[in-house]
Amino acid sequence: MADNPGPFAPRGSPAEVEEGRRLAPKFDADGLVACVATDAQSGDVLMVAHMNAEALARTIETGEAWYFSRSRRALWRKGETSGHVQRVKEMRIDCDQDAVWIKVEQAGGGACHTGRRSCFYRAVPLGVRKGAVTLEFRDAEKAFDPKAVYGDPDKPR
């Protein structure tokens, strides 16, 4: 796998990057692009994570989501611990090629290590001018038991 870790073109002019057909990602100073994973059926955002060049190449090659964990500084196949792999139905890249959008079929009921379907299970109220913001749980029911899946609840996903 990933014999060819970088199927990427060099960065060209803005017009080439934005209007061309060559994949020329702009990795940031840490070598990462942002990746949004949405549920291919519902369209809901499941998670936001990052990919380095190898994670992006492996995702393209295998059709399963690979990420780079910033906290663990390690390549990370989504579902390697939980079995909750993400089968990528479609991948898009944005205008300046520094962000990726994948539409996925999420195995195991949920993407979030807390057991929810989505990592975005709390709403931030708007129009708050002063003082602390109180989050509101929304779509926060557990889709699986994280202790059963991960064992140690403090273990990163």
Which residues are at the interface with its own copies (CB under 8 A)? 3-4, 7-9, 14, 18-23, 28, 34, 36, 38, 42-45, 47-48, 59-61, 63, 70, 88, 90-96, 99-101, 112-114, 116, 119-138, 154
Based on CB atoms, which residue is closest to its own copies, 22 or 83? 22
Based on CB atoms, which residue is closest to its own copies, 23 or 143? 23
Based on CB atoms, which residue is closest to its own copies, 80 or 123? 123
Q: How far is the CB of 144 from its own copies (least distance, A)?
A: 14
Angle made by CA atoms 132, 153, 149, in degrees to the nearest 5: 125
Q: How far is the CB of 15 from its own copies (least distance, A)?
A: 8
Based on CB atoms, which residue is closest to its own copies, 16 or 75? 16
Q: Which of 38, 6, 39 is nearest to 23 (CA)?
A: 6
Q: How far is the CB of 110 from its own copies (least distance, A)?
A: 11
Distant-in-sequence, close-in-space partners of 32: CB < 8 Å, separation ≥ 6: 50, 51, 52, 68, 70
Our measurement of the distance from residue 142's CA atom to the centroid of its chain's CA atoms, rounded to an integer in Å, reads 20
Our measurement of the distance from residue 153's CA atom to the centroid of its chain's CA atoms, rounded to an integer in Å, reads 21
The span from the CA of 54 to the CA of 25, in Å, is 12
